[in-house]
Amino acid sequence: MSDISASFEVIEAWKQVLGTHAVIDNFQALENYTKSVCASRRDVIAVLKPTSHEQVQQLVVVANEYKTPLYPISCGKQWGMGSKLPVKDGAAIVDLSGMNRIIEISEQFHYVVLEPGVTQRQLLDYITDKKLSLMLNVTGSTSDTSLIGNAMDRGVGYFDSRAHGMSNIEVVLGNGESIRTGFGHYENAQTKNLYSHGVGPSLDGLFPQGNFGIVTSACIDLMPKPEEHMAAIVKIDSEEKLPVLINALVSLRTRGIFTTIAHVGNRERSYITLAPLIYEQLIAHGDAEGEATRDKAVQMLEDGGFGPWSAAIGVLGTKAQLRIAKKEIRRAVSGFAKTMFLNDGLVAQAKAVLSNLSFMPAMRIQLMMLKAVEPVYGFTRGHATDKSLKAVYWAAGDFQRLEELDPDQSDSGVMFCLPIIPAFGKTVLEVVTDTRDTFAKHGFEAAITVNLMDTKAMEGVVSLAFDRRNAEQAERAKACIQEMEARYMEQGYPPYRVGINSMHHVVKGDDPYWHTIRNLKKVLDPNNIIAPGRYNLS
């Protein structure tokens, strides 16, 4: 049987299972799935859009019958890491965005059980509508990203790693069987969403960054809303002070002064994040669109003291705890950094005062700066936003698309490197310097964030922006990312996530660890149906 006739037969079988409307197989419609902001391409035979666990089971049975691989996505917004694209050609994408039920939510025990299509926006709107005293561990990506999808690749939010808070996972394995992890497989278990391990070997860890099955629901931890909240913004005027800042933050975290993730960004990261928001404000106040106003926005950031590195820290607790935290943070950075503290009351009061005085140029500038910082402040209190997406377009010079919500359909390009770095100031500075030098060799600037995840490790978020219309620039961008990831591996700082073109950096054929993972694959997915090549030996 030819590949073409085999593809036709499996697609017809999926249409019988899902209905014709839920199987996309025409070239033009597939283009919406195969365009990628990382300038990669893959051959995809179809897109399947199930709406239930049972339909997922059925399409996996068909895939096994025809030996046709599947590549599950939640919402497909893994921008800079592959978006919706499989690691290998020839798969059908399983788009789970239509499975978007919020199954159960508990204010008392602060958790939610949901399907993979549920987004940050949907859950936050639900919490608001129900007036629940809960917070979400939001990420810095857009509002319409999947909670389960991000957790499945161990994404990091503003409060914790998403995978840490996931349990009671319902999975259709590659062999067609369905399981629930933890206590979830015991009928009427009252603690299935309260105690993640269950009894016996814990299987939860198999599925984040695993390709053993398709997750159809999971329990996600939420947070009880605290009595008080504030954000600390810490700025230094010289990169030489970065090690001192990092070590001060580690000390504060070690002593429990704050327990969230501290986000520390370089000038390039701050500018691509904040400049488009200031530019937006300038246009709203009558400035003309164009290069002169964009330059003005950047100058306002310079004048506002956003120098080489800035840190944003969310602090949660009681009024007494926050008073102590403010005092301790000031003391820890005294003499080498400037610190600003924000809370809801201060932000509202400042906006009211500055609005009343906005006829004065200096006050108008301060108001615009405050409004630009407000979305970043919102992250630290559990609010998601679409404003952060503007950074992709701004960095790539795609200024006409600042309001659009899907960079895959734009001319902008972005790729990420995500190493884990020891939480020690001298080491962080060495990695930052090497990263900047490697990017410069290829003709790019590195936008870098180093996020203090706990007292030991920092998540590096290194992004590279380019113009996808320029084929030569796109090739240089790919070469730069490949060299950078190889250097991180050589230095002993493997990335904790990699894109679809970089599995070879972390998956090694001579490593008994990956041989064990492959052996598990043979048991749970004997026909290699689910996401071939993703975090596993081919």
Beta bridge partners of 213: 173
Amino acid (one-letter) located at 173: L
How many helices (H) and strands (E) the chain has is answered by 16, 19
pLDDT at 263: 96
pLDDT of residue 357: 84
Residue 418 and residue 266: Cα distance in Å, rounded?
15
Q: Among candidates 197, 193, 182, which has minimal Cα distance to 106?
A: 193
Distance of CA 536 to the CA centre of its chain: 21
Judge contact between 139 and 223, C-beta under 8 A: no
Q: How far apart are CA 404 and CA 35, in angstroms?
A: 15
**Using CB atoms within 10 A of its CB, is residue 326 exposed (0-12), middle (13-18) or buried (19+)?**
middle
| Spatial separation of the C-alpha atoms in residues 239 and 230, rounded to whole Å | 26
How high is the mean pLDDT in each 10-residue block of the chain (538 residues)? 69 96 93 94 96 98 97 95 96 98 98 98 97 96 95 94 94 97 95 95 94 98 96 95 98 96 95 93 90 93 86 95 97 95 90 85 85 89 92 92 92 96 98 98 97 97 96 96 97 97 95 97 97 94
For residue 366 the two structure tokens come to 């301060």
Contact 412, 468 (CB under 8 A): yes
Give buried/exposed letters for 231-249 (b at 16+ CB in 10 A, else e): bbbbbbeebebbbbbbbbb
pLDDT (0 to 100) of residue 394: 93
Helices 242-254 & 425-441 angle (0-180, nearest 10):
140
Confidence (pLDDT) at 307: 81
What local confidence, expressed as pLDDT, does residue 1 receive? 46
